[in-house]
Amino acid sequence: MPKRPAYSNLVKTIREGKFVFTGELEPEKDFDLKHVLKSAEAMKKTGKIVAANVTDGPQGDAYTCSMVPCYLVQEKVGLEAIWQMTVRDRNRIALFGDILGGAILGLKNLLALTGDHSALGDHQNARPVYDLDSTQLIELVSKMVDEGTDVEGNEIQGGKPQINVGCAANPNSNPREPEILKVGRKVEVGADFIQTQTSFDIDDAKEFLKELEKYNTPVLLGLFPIKSYGIAAYFDANIPGVSVPKEFLGALKKAEKDNKGNKSAKYAAIDRVNLEFYRPFINEIKKTTKAAGIHCMAVHYERLFDPLLKDF
Amino acid sequence: MIITKLKDIEEIYEMIKPYSKILVAGCDGCCQPPRSINEAKVLAQMLELKARSEGKELKWKAITVLRQCDDRIAATTLRPFIEEYDAIVSLACGLGVGMLNRIIPTILTFPAQNSMFGGVENNGENYFAEYCETCGDCLLGVTGGICPMAGCAKNLSNGPCGGQVEGKCEVGGYIHDCAWVKMWERLKKFNRLDLFTIYRPPRNYRIWSSPRFLHIYETSSNVEELQKEEKI
């Protein structure tokens, strides 16, 4: 599929050949989005983060819709949003309507996702939709953006929306081949970029990136700096298919234990552990792979951005 | 076969509480586990006990029907007894309950069961498994015989999603197989990954919208062709 124009700063920056960073914002069951905007401001201040993902009901929970925080982050903070959209809660009619609405509001990136099943969330008796899957959602965006129509070919009045669309890929997938083949389908129907789930294993990440090279589509590798031992231990124990390296876990635990009672020293020690783990990781990815950048999922861990991204 | 689950006795009793003479009808059709004459008798006795504990008399008769979803069979089996009873409790799936309510319009038929899904029974395994969602647009020919509608919690046409871990699905606690990994394994085995790789466009859900009817002459997909040739 021929490349569509770069409508977003994210895709423009990637195509300029710069190694980019994206962040992640997570609206929850919020009427007040101050924490999202605060986090976005911290990302903006780094001058390194090109755009930030805004999640759409992660873990299947009923959260504030992602379109409004995306708009506010762009309007109030001036940071470009990557609008995560799952196919779990909307059929093709609602997806089309929302995408068009979001495009009118100036949203330029959409990350098409299947979404965690509602059976995992806080409304487990809900009826999930899944009218389209994430690949079909990418095709829908392609039709809207490239042809100016909906799924059925009905024309959009007043011009074509200008959006770049991305897809997800999971470097932790096992078996891996079906995952790689699936990404191929997504690229075939029009994905402009790929963002991956979090990776803790540098060799595995490099291998995965190598396998994705054949699709000739920019990949942002997902990394997850962790601001406490508790979060890391929870992640390790409860997120299937992902294991946090034992040395990293141990170092976080030690950092907390050694600095008990001294908050600022504890924070500094935790940050040091993350920097010692992730800076060489990012450096290696930047130098030895064709990755277009890093998707840094340091949600609520804004203080790490500056020291982490310095000099990259 | 239609896989069913018996409702709680309290729920069944609440439905028939206003009545004193009930006909409990088993079904010898495809309903699984079997809900025949013995199950009908046991249910009737339990309802009688329940009524007695409330100081009420419940008159009952247990009977079974070859197939409750066949109007002629159901009508000829049940009609001779109908006048003596003021309600029916059906041990068939929802199809049987619906059919009895249609062919016996003088009294109400109540369901004793919840119809779960169209499934299969694998000998030696202690569960029934859903193999088909009767979606009206069969993809089994391109998926290695594994249904992405019945087998995938997200009904994906282009899976797997990111929720599979070592071939197990995120829904249900990583116990059930990911249908898309199974498909990949099978198609790879037969050197048909070309089928796995193709993009499948959005499905036509109009043919899956209730209520569904199918005219007898439409049971073959070359209807239009036959109509042109004036064969039907």
Question: pLDDT tens digits, residue range B21-31?
Answer: 999 999 999 99
Q: Are A230 and A302 in contact (CB under 8 A)?
A: no
Backbone phi and psi for residue A293, each to the nearest 5 degrees, phi listed first: 165, -165
Shortest CA distance from B149: residue in chain A: A130
H/E segment holding residue B231? none
Q: Which CATH number fits domain B2-117: 2.60.120.10, 3.40.50.2300, 3.90.1200.10, 1.10.3720.10?
A: 3.40.50.2300
Shortest CA distance from A118: residue in chain B: B171
**Residue B221: pLDDT band with limits 50, 70, 90:** low
**Structure ipTM:** 0.94
Q: Are B155 and A130 inside 8 Å of each other by CB?
A: yes
What tokens appear for B125 in the block? 């395994």
Nearest to B162 among A135, A168, A184 (CB): A168
Shortest CA distance from A242: residue in chain B: B165
CA distance A137 to B180: 19
Q: What are the Cα distances from residue A239, in Å, to A180, A234, A243, B8, B213?
A: 21, 8, 8, 36, 45
Work out the percent of chain A whose per-residue pLDDT is above 70.
Answer: 99
**pLDDT attached to residue A286:** 97
List the Cα angle A198/A203/A206 in 5-degree steps. Answer: 70
Out of A237-246, B54-63, B180-189, B216-225, which region has the weakest mean confidence (pLDDT)? B216-225
Backbone phi and psi for residue B219, each to the nearest 5 degrees, phi listed first: -75, -5
Q: pLDDT at residue B232 above 60? A: no
Backbone phi and psi for residue A299, each to the nearest 5 degrees, phi listed first: -65, 135
**pLDDT attached to residue A80:** 98
Within 8 A by CB and 6+ apart from B229, the residues are: none
Q: Are B202 and A136 inside 8 Å of each other by CB?
A: yes
CA distance B87 to B112: 12
Mean pLDDT over B119-147 rounds to: 91
**Cα A302 off chain centre by:** 16
Mean pLDDT over B109-117 rounds to: 97
Q: pLDDT at residue A1 above 70? A: no
| pLDDT tens-digit map of A15-70 | 999 999 999 999 999 999 999 999 999 999 999 999 999 999 999 999 999 999 99
Query: Looking at the DSSP assignment, which residues form a beta bridge with residue B130?
Result: B119
Interface test with B, best of A174, A179, A198, A295 (most B CBs within 10 A): A179
Q: List the domains of chain A with CATH numbers.
A: 9-235+280-309 (3.20.20.220)
**Residue A226: pLDDT band with limits 50, 70, 90:** very high
**Residue B217: pLDDT band with limits 50, 70, 90:** confident
CA distance B92 to B43: 13
**Residue B230: pLDDT band with limits 50, 70, 90:** low
Q: How many CB atoms within 10 Å of residue A98? A: 18
CA distance B61 to A129: 44
| pLDDT tens-digit map of A124-167 | 999 999 999 999 999 999 999 999 999 999 999 999 999 999 99
**pLDDT attached to residue B224:** 65
Alpha helices per DSSP H over chain B: 9-16, 37-53, 71-82, 94-103, 179-189, 193-197, 223-228
**Residue B218: pLDDT band with limits 50, 70, 90:** confident
CA distance A276 to A245: 13
CA distance A8 to B37: 69
Q: What residues of A are in contact with residue B162 (Cβ under 8 Å)?
A: 114, 168, 170, 173, 197
Alpha helices per DSSP H over chain A: 9-15, 34-46, 67-72, 92-104, 134-142, 177-188, 202-212, 229-238, 246-258, 263-288, 305-309
Pick from A240-244, A308-312, B7-11 the range whose average pLDDT is largest. Answer: B7-11
CA distance A96 to A93: 5
Interface test with A, best of B149, B165, B183, B206 (most A CBs within 10 A): B165
Strands B113-121 and A109-113: unpaired
Q: What residues of B are in contact with residue A181 (Cβ under 8 Å)?
A: 184, 193, 196-197
Q: Where are the domains of chain B?
A: 2-117, 136-232
Residue A306 is which amino acid?
D
Going by the DSSP 8-state scheme, the letter that residue A4 receives in this structure is: P
Residue A251 is which amino acid?
A
Half-sphere exposure of A119 (CA within 13 A, CB side): 9
Q: pLDDT at residue A238 above 90? A: no
Q: What is the pTM (predicted TM-score) of this model?
A: 0.93
Tokens 């606690």 -> residue? B173
Residues of B with CB under 8 A from a CB of A: 153-167, 170-172, 174, 180-181, 184, 188, 193, 196-199, 201-202, 205
Interface test with B, best of A86, A135, A215, A243 (most B CBs within 10 A): A135
**pLDDT attached to residue A241:** 81
